[in-house]
């Protein structure tokens, strides 16, 4: 861990010091603006050229003209990662969607992953521990608008998670699934699967075969129109995937994910120009269901699909039941399946047969 507990009081006093934070923000000279699904615009400012290039590469297909005038309601995230003695990085938030940054870690989708404890002598300051890791030493210290990241091995992951919260909970008109998504003939195929389920590999193989890329990570389904808004963050490949598809080696950059895992971030538009898809109707919702020698596709009832979607849904709405009921109306126009994966080419051919 990057900080000894004996330093906690000093660190707590620092992150509560407005003058110190103001001086740190002035160091963030590299600025980019991004637009996320639902039209949420976010400005991200870095004090490190290297870290700016990494984030900018990962989200390059979501960047907009940063020279345009900043609007009063646009959130700004300052990522400070150089010249800090006791922490790995600081994230300072201006005009964020949360009244207090601790709220990010108490939402339903994360409250079992993180433990929060109020620090002694400061009601506004909380120590945050990522429970999936061994030990009880805090990984972050959060105040109303500042997060001090103590964990050297994963600070980029935590920083990215805080920035993505600018839109994940704000868009109550979207049902957001942890899923890959591609499209063909203006119909989207949503691929739901847990880690190591083959989701990213299948998404890439479909794009390689001519499908349009919508997302590798989040399928954002509008609850009124049934449209999927693209979230074309760069494809996150594990290194065993690079061995299978060596053509990706020349188009990526290494990044950090949860639990310190390294991934290779690849811009598919660079690999296959014209591969980025546009907003279109959700046509198919497919749940990846293991592996076999040959692939098989089984249609499932809408009620089963709705229940299965809960295990992949990112719901941060004040009325989650209402949110889910609205998605059940969208599913009336969506074909739902379970897919057991087989050989890569066979998987692609089976899905091509489904949509033709």
Span 263-288, mean pLDDT?
A: 96
How confident is the model over 242-248, as a mean pLDDT?
A: 93
Instruction: Tell me the two tokens of residue 259.
Output: 């639990």
Instruction: Inform me whether the pLDDT recorded for 303 exceeds 90.
Output: yes
pLDDT recorded at residue 1: 40
Q: CB neighbours of 180 closer than 8 A, spacing ≥ 6?
A: 190, 191, 193, 199, 200, 202, 203, 215, 216, 217, 219
**Residue 109 per-residue DSSP state:** T
What pLDDT sits at residue 3?
43
The torsion angles phi and psi of 323, rounded to 5 degrees, stand at -60, -45
| Mean pLDDT confidence for 252-278 | 86
Q: Is 73 helix (H, G, I), strand (E, B) or coil?
A: coil
Query: Regarding predicted confidence, which is higher, 154 or 83?
Result: 83
The rounded mean pLDDT for the chain is 88
Q: Which domains are assigned to the chain?
A: 5-168 (no CATH), 174-355 (3.40.50)
Whether residue 135 has pLDDT greater than 80: no
Largest CA distance in the chain: 64
**Spatial contact of 351 and 190, defined as CB atoms under 8 Å apart:** no
Quick one: what percent of the chain has pLDDT higher than 90? 56
Tell me the C-alpha distance between 276 and 283, whole Å: 18
What are the two backbone dihedrals, phi and then psi, of residue 262, each rounded to the nearest 5 degrees? -100, 140
Nearest Cα to Cα of residue 120 among 8, 206, 255: 8
Predicted TM-score (pTM) of the model is: 0.90
Query: Which stretch of 46-60, 94-108, 161-175, 284-298 has the lowest confidence by average pLDDT?
Result: 94-108
User: Does position 262 have pLDDT exceeding 50, yes or no?
Assistant: yes
Residue range 28-40: mean pLDDT, rounded = 93
Structure tokens at 138: 């805090």
Residue 2 has a pLDDT of 40
Q: Choose among 285, 282, 279, 278: nearest CA to 337.
A: 285
Contact yes or no for 254/265 (Cβ under 8 A): yes
CA dist., res. 143 & res. 120, Å (int): 13
Q: How confident is the model at residue 23 (pLDDT cuts 50, 70, 90)?
A: very high
Residues 6+ apart with CB under 8 A from 331: 285, 302, 305, 306
pLDDT score of 321: 80
Residues 162-220: tens digit of each pLDDT: 898 877 766 788 999 999 999 999 999 999 998 889 999 999 999 999 999 999 999 99
| 319-to-306, 313, 324, 325, 328 alpha-carbon distances in Å | 17, 14, 9, 10, 15
Q: Are 323 and 354 in contact, with CB atoms under 8 Å apart?
A: no
Structure confidence at residue 316 (pLDDT) = 58
Identify which of 72-81, 86-95, 298-307 has the greatest average pLDDT.
298-307
Q: CB–CB of 234/57 below 8 Å? A: yes
For residue 318, pLDDT over 80 is answered with no
Query: Averaged over 225-243, what is the pLDDT?
Result: 94
């Amino acid at each position: 861990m990057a900080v000894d507990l004996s330093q906690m009081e000093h660190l707590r006093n620092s992150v509560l010091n407005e003058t110190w934070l103001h001086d740190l923000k002035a160091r963030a000279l590299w600025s980019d603006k991004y637009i996320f699904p639902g039209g949420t615009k976010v400005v991200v400012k870095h004090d490190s050229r290297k870290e700016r290039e990494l984030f900018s590469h990962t989200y390059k297909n979501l960047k907009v003209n940063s020279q345009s005038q900043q609007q009063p309601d646009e959130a700004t995230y300052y990522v400070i990662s150089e010249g800090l003695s006791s922490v790995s990085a600081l994230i300072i938030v201006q005009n964020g969607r949360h009244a207090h940054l601790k709220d990010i870690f108490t939402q339903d989708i994360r409250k079992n992953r993180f433990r929060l404890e109020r620090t002694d002598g400061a009601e506004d300051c909380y120590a945050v521990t990522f429970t999936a890791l061994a030990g009880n030493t805090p990984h972050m210290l959060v105040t109303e608008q500042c997060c001090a990241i103590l964990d050297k091995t994963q600070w980029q992951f935590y920083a990215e998670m805080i920035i993505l919260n600018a839109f994940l909970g704000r868009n109550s008109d979207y049902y957001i699934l942890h899923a890959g998504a591609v499209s063909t003939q203006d119909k989207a195929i949503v691929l739901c699967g847990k880690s190591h389920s083959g989701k990213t590999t299948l998404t890439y193989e479909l794009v390689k075969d001519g499908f349009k890329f919508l997302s590798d990570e989040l399928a954002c389904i509008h609850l009124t129109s049934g449209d999927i808004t693209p979230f074309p963050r760069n494809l996150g490949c594990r290194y065993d995937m690079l061995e299978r598809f060596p053509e990706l080696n020349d188009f990526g950059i290494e990044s950090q994910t949860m639990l310190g895992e390294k991934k290779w971030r690849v811009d598919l538009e660079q690999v296959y120009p014209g591969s980025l898809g546009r907003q279109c109707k959700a046509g198919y919702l497919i749940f990846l269901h293991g592996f076999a020698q040959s692939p098989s596709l089984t249609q499932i009832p809408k009620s089963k699909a709705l229940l299965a979607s809960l295990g992949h849904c990112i719901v941060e709405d004040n009325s989650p039941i209402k949110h889910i009921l609205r998605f059940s109306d969208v599913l009336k126009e969506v074909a739902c399946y379970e897919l057991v994966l087989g050989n890569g080419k066979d998987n692609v051919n089976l899905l091509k047969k489904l949509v033709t």
